Structure formats: structure tokens, C-alpha cells
A and B are shown apart, each in its own frame.
Chain A
């Protein structure tokens, strides 16, 4: 799973790097406050907007949701971990208190997980259907919902 997640991250380094840098910056601010809650929410949204076509493909091919969740956790966890590894020593240099270092290490991980959760939520919402609507062709069998027996 880690190898697969790493391959994906390496293939789209911009995604991982952006996530890492943003998490790093917020990690260095290191104030578990309203800003952090807001950032977490934004990361979930960002994850949903980033989308992840691979998750949908895997879902179509028969990966169960827990498998997708593990992949997301592994991938975004790697990005968060990398950011935490950079942020914690930087925080130690800037502000040597244990709380600052701990927060700088933890916050990138939490934010990366939030972004991953956004991606995952979107994949689950979209489901495995390759094309939700039938082709836009003449449809003489069209009927009202009441008359068609549709559920």
C-alpha cells in the first residue's frame, strides 16, 4: 500500500509538494486555535476539489472503500509526515518550547489527513459509476415518474 501510495505521490509531486508546503506553513504558525479548525475545514474542501481519478478507477475495479481509505491514508500521510519532519526542527529553531515543536509536527499530519479525507469523501460520493447518465440520445420511452413504475 505504501509503495502504491508513494508511486502515486511521485507521479504527481506538485500535489504532494503543495500540500506539504501549506501544511508546513500552518504547522509553523502552530497555534491550535480557530485558525487551525478553519484550516482543517479548508483542507477537506481542497481535498474534495483536488479530486483523485485513481480512487474512482480503483473503486470501479472492485477496491472496497476501506482499501481506498488505506491508500488515501498512506499517500496523504506520507506528505504530512514529510511536512512534519521539516516543520518540527524548524519550530525547534524558531521557538524551542516543546508545545511549539509538538504542534508543528502534529498539525501537518492532521491537515494532510483532512485533505485525504476530502478526496476520499468525493470518491465515495461519486461512486464507481463511470457515466451516471445514459447517452444523450432520443429516448422515446420517456415517461412521467408516476407512469413509469420508477422507484
Chain B
């Protein structure tokens, strides 16, 4: 890993408004599981909000809904002025291109170099895209590793590449679903530090799901889910 360089400028963070969001899944035998139950949440621009809770509490479901990877049964999600819940299915890929997505699995394409993975949303011959991908790699501390294959990097660096890829489209919103889940404690700490630095330098709004309280404690706000409902919110008035 190399010394991280200043992060290239991107647009500032967006306001996210979630209102009465509900998502159920069929569980067989005519039954349903309510993964997200009437959740309402407003995220301030350039804030880092951790969604915590035990396995099955609805963290990932909530992030997938905000990320346009799932459709809600009811409720509203608005990202800035755009109402995600009313976008037609054909508009969702375009929405996902405009936000940053980081998952527990880095989702890097093994056939491509690190640089090509970062600019996967713009795989053509554009020099601008290549330069931007290089800048982002430098920003996450991986300058000079653009020609490597992801398989040659340690897991923590692959996750750094995933963060760089998430920033490629200059997102106002970054969704991170258990980004440290596959890493040891030290490596996980590095990734959280990187995400916090991204927020500081880019002003991006971050929604991060984690089951690890040590990770959540570093965030501006912690929202704990239990059985799909908000059980605790550090920003709630006492």
C-alpha cells in the first residue's frame, strides 16, 4: 500500500429521506417475513450513519432498498430531490451508477486489472476515465497497482479498490453493506478510516451497515435495527 493522496473532488453529499419504508419477503407456506418494518430515517448531507443490529435485523435489506437493488412494498425513499421508490425498473441501473456501492464481497471482476475494475462503469478507451481511476487508486493508497489483478492483492486492498470504484461516478451517496465483514479487525479499521476520510474530503453522505459496534462507534450517528424496526437512534432526542 502507498501513502494515500488527496481525494479528487466530487459533488457534495446528498440528503436522504426514508419514510415508513416496509419490505417483506415470502417465507413459504403463505407466510411472509417483514425484513424492514415502517422505517423512517433522515440522513444529513456529508454524514456517516451506521445501521447496526444482529443478523437478520434488516440492515442489508434497508441498504438494498436505498441502493435500488430491491423494491419496497410501501414507503418512500428520496435521495436529494429524486424519489427512488417511484422510479421505474428501467431507471434503477442509472440510479445505481450515480451512487457508490460497497459490499462485504468486493465484487471485483477477476479478469480485469485493478485500474479497469475502478473504471468499470466507463470501460472504453477514454483517457479521462483512466486518469480518474488512477487518481482514485492513489487516493485510497494503491498508487502504482493499477495493472495488478485483484487476486494478487490482499483482501483489505481489494476492498480499497471497491471503495475507489464506488467513488468513480462522483457519488453524493455511498452505501456500504458490511464493508469490513470479510476482514480482520485491523484491516476493517483501515477500511472504516478510509470511508471516514472519503466523507471528510468528498463530503459524501454515507450509510453503512455493520454488526460490529467497534466500527459503528466511529460514525456520526448509530441507528440500531431489531426485527426490521428502529430500536435505537443515537440522534434521537432524549
Q: Which residues of A contact B (CB under 8 A)?
A: 1, 3-4, 7-8, 10-12, 54, 57-65, 128-145, 148-151
Contacts and interface: CB of A to CB of B under 8 A. Distances in A.
Closest 5 pairs (CB-CB, A-B): A137-B56, A11-B111, A62-B97, A62-B96, A135-B56
A4 B32 contact: no
Mostly, the A contact residues are loop
A40 B220 CA distance: 56
Interface in B33-67: 33-35, 37, 54-58, 60-61, 64
Interface string B120-131: 110111000000
B153 interface: no
Nearest to A65: B93
30 contacts: A7-B116, A11-B110, A11-B111, A12-B111, A54-B109, A57-B107, A60-B103, A61-B97, A61-B101, A61-B121, A63-B93, A64-B93, A65-B93, A128-B69, A128-B93, A128-B96, A129-B70, A137-B54, A137-B57, A139-B56, A141-B34, A141-B229, A142-B33, A143-B32, A144-B30, A144-B31, A145-B30, A148-B24, A150-B26, A151-B24
A59 B25 CA distance: 21
Interface of B: 22, 24-27, 30-35, 37, 54-58, 60-61, 64, 69-70, 73-74, 90, 93-98, 101, 103, 105, 107, 109-112, 116, 120-121, 123-125, 165, 169, 177, 227-229
A132 B98 CA distance: 23
Given A3-B125, A151-B73, 4 more contacts: A8-B111, A62-B93, A133-B25, A140-B227
Between B32, B34, B105, B107, the greatest number of chain A beta carbons within 10 A of the residue's beta carbon is seen for B32
Contacts of A144: 30-32
Contact of B107 (A12, A61, A132): A61
Contacts of B227: 139-141
A148 B34 contact: yes
B101 to A, nearest CB: 7
A64 B68 CA distance: 13
A141 B33 contact: yes
